[in-house]
Structures are given as C-alpha cells and as structure tokens.
Amino acid sequence: MDISRKVQSFVSGSIFLFGCVIVVCLQVLTSAAQTKAKLNAHFESLHQCVNEALSDRLAVLQQSVDDAVQEAIVPLDGCQQEIQQKVDVAVNIMDTGE
C-alpha cells in the first residue's frame, strides 16, 4: 500500500471513530437529561406527599389545641358565673344596706 492510501485509510478510520465518540457523547447527554427529568418528577411527587402529610398533621394538632381550649373553658365559665353571682349579691347587700 502506498502512503496516500495509508493516510486516506487512517483519516477515514479517524473520522469514523470521531463520529462514534460524538454519538456516544450524545447518548450520554440524552440519558442524563432523561434521568434528571425522572428524578425531578419523582422528588416533586414526594415533595407534594410530604407537604400534604404535614398539612394534615398540622390540622390535627390545631384541632387538638382547639379541643383542649374548649375543655379548659367550661370550668372557667362556671367560676366566672359563680363569681358574678357573688358580686351581684354583694352589690345588692350594699344597695339595700343589709
């Protein structure tokens, strides 16, 4: 084989290898982009689930606080009524002079 054929063969082989490298690089980049998209979708879904669970838990805890307030107010209302009755009796005694 003469030199020009060897050079031509070498150049052709090099171009072929370069083309293969480009194809593989594009496959890697495409695969990476698809993987990132799937990860983003998965974590977005997970993020939504966690937010819903936290919101539900917050609502339950707030309702528990409201229930505790209602339970605590009942005896205090009774005390307030009893105090008011005694104040009314005292005012009545003061007014009548008894």
| Residue 3 belongs to a domain | yes
Note whether residue 42 is domain-resident: yes
Mark 34-61 as b/e (b = at least 16 C-beta within 10 Å).
Answer: eeeeeeeeeeeeeeeeeeeeeeeeeeee
Considering the domain boundaries, does residue 20 fall inside one?
A: yes
Total of domains in the chain: 1
Q: Write down the residue that tokens 């609502």 correspond to.
A: 59
Mention every residue, 6+ apart, whose C-beta is less than 8 A from residue 55: none
The reply to whether 86 falls in a domain is no
Please indicate, yes or no, if residue 60 is contained in any of the structural domains.
Answer: yes
Residue 13 lies in a domain: yes
Domain that holds residue 40: 1-71
Residue 11 pLDDT:
65
pTM for this entry: 0.54
Residue 68 is predicted with a pLDDT of 95
Residue 15 lies in a domain: yes
Per residue of the chain (98 residues), give pLDDT as tens. Answer: 577 776 677 767 677 777 888 888 999 999 999 999 999 999 999 999 999 999 999 999 999 999 999 999 988 888 889 899 988 888 888 888 76
Q: What is the pLDDT of residue 20?
A: 81
Is 25 within a domain? yes
